[in-house]
Chains A and B, each alone.
Chain A
Amino acid sequence: MIEKHERIRYIALLCMLLGIILAGFTVDGVHKSLVDFIKIQTSSSRLIQDFTAIGVGGALVNASLVALIGLSLVFFSSVSLSGPTLAAVFTLLGFGLFGKTPLNNLPIMAGVWIAARFARKTLGSYSLIALFGTALGPLVTYLMFETALPLPLSIPVAIMAGLVTGIILPAIAGSMLQLHHGYNLYNIGFSCGFIGLFASSALRASNRMQPIFILWNTQRHVVLVVLIPAVVILLFSVGIISSHGSPKKLFTDTKKLQRLSGRLPTDYFDVVDSGAPWLNMGLLGIASVLFVLISGAPFNGPVLGGIFTVIGFGAFGKSLKNCWPVVLGVCLGTWLFGKTLADPGPILAALFATTLAPIAGQFGIITGIIAGFIHLIVVESTAAWHGGLDLYNNGFAGGLTATFLIAILQWYQTNRSKEDFKS
């Protein structure tokens, strides 16, 4: 039995996802959208492949279907639709615009289900791993359509690779958490990058790894520009409805969320009982849109994907207060190294570096800025390491950055001479 507040969340998400499908059909027509949707399933999906360059309508349909599959998994695995699961659904929606497809997601989800059966757990226990683990979806697409193997051979190989990935993910994800102690919000991205290193090495060893290329849509599409503001209006509306007409409580609870470090796992829906998490998500959405506008970057698939992910984690670890220092660190790095913020690498790094927001939340502004700065340096190299197979490349780089910083901070913390026993 779903509680009332959870029913509101399902209704809000369903309205949003169906609205996005409708927007896609309106822009390109039903026929072209569906044709492009099919084309997207067989297109390359490694970093960075902007599906909106294939067709805006098809990309929007694909993204919504990917998110609907995620939402169905949450519903049928009987876990609550709250902070972490909302973050996952928004992340799926975002990456459905540049890399995730229903075709490449399902084998990985099935693999995680097999792992759950093996460990005698419910799928609910591993639901977050199943949802975020689809970051390695490009591995499935790549093996299926880009290795020049005949389809009767490549299809089973790709499905098997997806299943194996899903089966080993719970083990890897659990271990990776211990490295950064929950200070990297995209932990599965870190884990998938780790697995991606082995997968890309195997492909290189067999001379089947092709170089990465970037498909980056720079055309202006009105529907892509107004999409986030429309979603923000929905988020604010749900926030107000969920607060039972008490704007003061909504305001004080939103302020309360800003004071949290955001370290994993901080479900904002557990911290407050008003609509403040929705408001926080909306505020992060507005801030992200303004940032993209100021930077001059296009509102294309990957950029929208970054914004949707930031919005999603507005219920699970991110706030304006813990995000801005990290983003500032990326901007400083961009300026210092003479890069352009609107370019694919820096703009995505700035949006996704907020995976390190808990570091700023816990250790302060300066540490947050340093984290963002290091993140920019690292993230520019990591995609090549895993051959673009891990869509959460910033989660991988963020994990490395967090592990690096936390190791130093932990060493400093555990060597306080004042607390030694008297000799």
Chain B
Amino acid sequence: MKRKEILNRLIGEVTNFLLEDNPLRLVVSLHQEDDGAHLSFFDDRKRTEEELESIRTSLNPKHTRPELAGYYGMMAGHDTSWKARLNLIGWQIKGASVKNNDSGLQIDFWLGSDAFNPDHFTIEKED
């Protein structure tokens, strides 16, 4: 059940982050394939461009950090009493997109094995 535990941790940390703004609506959507998964989070709180950039930076680290992902990444989703730490997630996923949609914030991210091709999912291409 390794996959279940990882998804649990990641969902826990992101929802911890989203709940910090006390949303009235929060939706988590999961789409799984054999070699990967796509997670989407929606709430009803729009963020400033600065806040969006900060979330993007945390979820898309410049370098891969296997030494941090495999060890400290285990803390993700466990501590919900204090501020969420999205960088714990950034090291464990393939990539993330962050934007404001019509109603609030939308975070999408993709995770999976080396064989996993995010293009098969609804990943957005940069213009």
Residues of B within 8 A of A85 (CB): 67
The answer to whether B63 touches A125, judged by C-beta atoms less than 8 angstroms apart, is no
B29 at the A interface (CB under 8 A): no
Residues of A within 8 A of B81 (CB): 410, 413-414
Q: A129-B71, A264-B72 are in contact. Are A122 and B66 (CB under 8 A)?
A: yes
B71-124: which residues lie under 8 A (CB-CB) from chain A? 71-72, 74-75, 78-79, 81-82
Q: How many residues of A contact B (CB 8 A)?
A: 28
A177 to B9, CA, bound (A): 14
Q: A178-B75, A181-B79, A413-B81 are in contact. Are A124 and B68 (CB under 8 A)?
A: no
Which residue of A has the minimal Cβ distance to B65? A80
Which of A121, A265, A270 touches B72 (beta carbons < 8 Å)? Answer: A265
The answer to whether B68 touches A84, judged by C-beta atoms less than 8 angstroms apart, is yes
A177 to B69, CA, bound (A): 13
The answer to whether A182 touches B67, judged by C-beta atoms less than 8 angstroms apart, is no
- Give the one of B61, B66, B78, B81 with max A CB within 10 A: B66
Q: How many residues of B contact A (CB 8 A)?
A: 17
The answer to whether B65 touches A173, judged by C-beta atoms less than 8 angstroms apart, is no
A208-241: which residues lie under 8 A (CB-CB) from chain B? none
Chain A nearest CB from B52 CB (Å) reads 20
* Chain A interface mostly: helix
Chain A nearest CB from B102 CB (Å) reads 28
A145 at the B interface (CB under 8 A): no
Which of A80, A170, A413 touches B63 (beta carbons < 8 Å)? Answer: A80
Chain A nearest CB from B19 CB (Å) reads 11
A50 at the B interface (CB under 8 A): no
- Give the one of B67, B69, B72, B74 with max A CB within 10 A: B67
Which residue of A has the minimal Cβ distance to B80? A414
Chain B nearest CB from A289 CB (Å) reads 30
Chain A nearest CB from B27 CB (Å) reads 20
The answer to whether B71 touches A124, judged by C-beta atoms less than 8 angstroms apart, is no
A265 to B82, CA, bound (A): 15
Residues of B within 8 A of A127 (CB): 66-67
Residues of B within 8 A of A173 (CB): 71
Number of A-B contacts defined by CB within 8 Å = 61
Which residue of A has the minimal Cβ distance to B70? A125
The answer to whether A79 touches B67, judged by C-beta atoms less than 8 angstroms apart, is yes
Residues of B within 8 A of A79 (CB): 65-67
The digit string for A31-70, where 1 denotes a CB below 8 A from any CB of B, is 0000000000000000000000000000000000000000
A173 to B79, CA, bound (A): 16
Chain A nearest CB from B23 CB (Å) reads 14
B21-78: which residues lie under 8 A (CB-CB) from chain A? 61-63, 65-72, 74-75, 78
Which of B61, B67, B75 touches A84 (beta carbons < 8 Å)? Answer: B67
The answer to whether A181 touches B75, judged by C-beta atoms less than 8 angstroms apart, is yes
A267 at the B interface (CB under 8 A): yes
Which residue of B has the minimal Cβ distance to A182? B75
A364 at the B interface (CB under 8 A): no
A397 to B69, CA, bound (A): 26
Residues of B within 8 A of A362 (CB): 82
A385 at the B interface (CB under 8 A): no
Chain A nearest CB from B75 CB (Å) reads 5
Q: A181-B79, A414-B81 are in contact. Are A174 and B66 (CB under 8 A)?
A: no
Chain B nearest CB from A360 CB (Å) reads 15
Chain B nearest CB from A82 CB (Å) reads 8
The answer to whether A177 touches B74, judged by C-beta atoms less than 8 angstroms apart, is yes
Residues of A within 8 A of B71 (CB): 125-126, 128-129, 170, 173-174, 177
Residues of B within 8 A of A413 (CB): 81-82
Which residue of A has the minimal Cβ distance to B68? A265
- Give the one of B61, B62, B68, B79 with max A CB within 10 A: B68
Which of A126, A182, A264 touches B70 (beta carbons < 8 Å)? Answer: A126
The answer to whether B78 touches A125, judged by C-beta atoms less than 8 angstroms apart, is no
Residues of B within 8 A of A410 (CB): 81
A116-137: which residues lie under 8 A (CB-CB) from chain B? 121-122, 124-129
A371-423: which residues lie under 8 A (CB-CB) from chain B? 410, 413-414
Chain A nearest CB from B89 CB (Å) reads 13
A177 to B68, CA, bound (A): 13
The answer to whether B68 touches A267, judged by C-beta atoms less than 8 angstroms apart, is yes
Chain B nearest CB from A32 CB (Å) reads 38
Chain B nearest CB from A284 CB (Å) reads 22
Residues of B within 8 A of A128 (CB): 67-68, 71
Which of B61, B62, B69, B72 touches A182 (beta carbons < 8 Å)? Answer: B72
Binding site for A on B (CB under 8 A): 61-63, 65-72, 74-75, 78-79, 81-82
Given contacts A84-B68, A270-B61, A413-B81, 8 further A-B contacts (CB under 8 A): A79-B67, A80-B67, A85-B67, A124-B70, A125-B66, A178-B75, A181-B82, A362-B82
Closest 5 CB pairs between A and B? A125-B70, A265-B72, A124-B66, A79-B67, A174-B74
Q: List 8 A-B contacts (CB under 8 A).
A: A122-B66, A126-B70, A181-B78, A181-B79, A182-B72, A264-B72, A265-B72, A410-B81
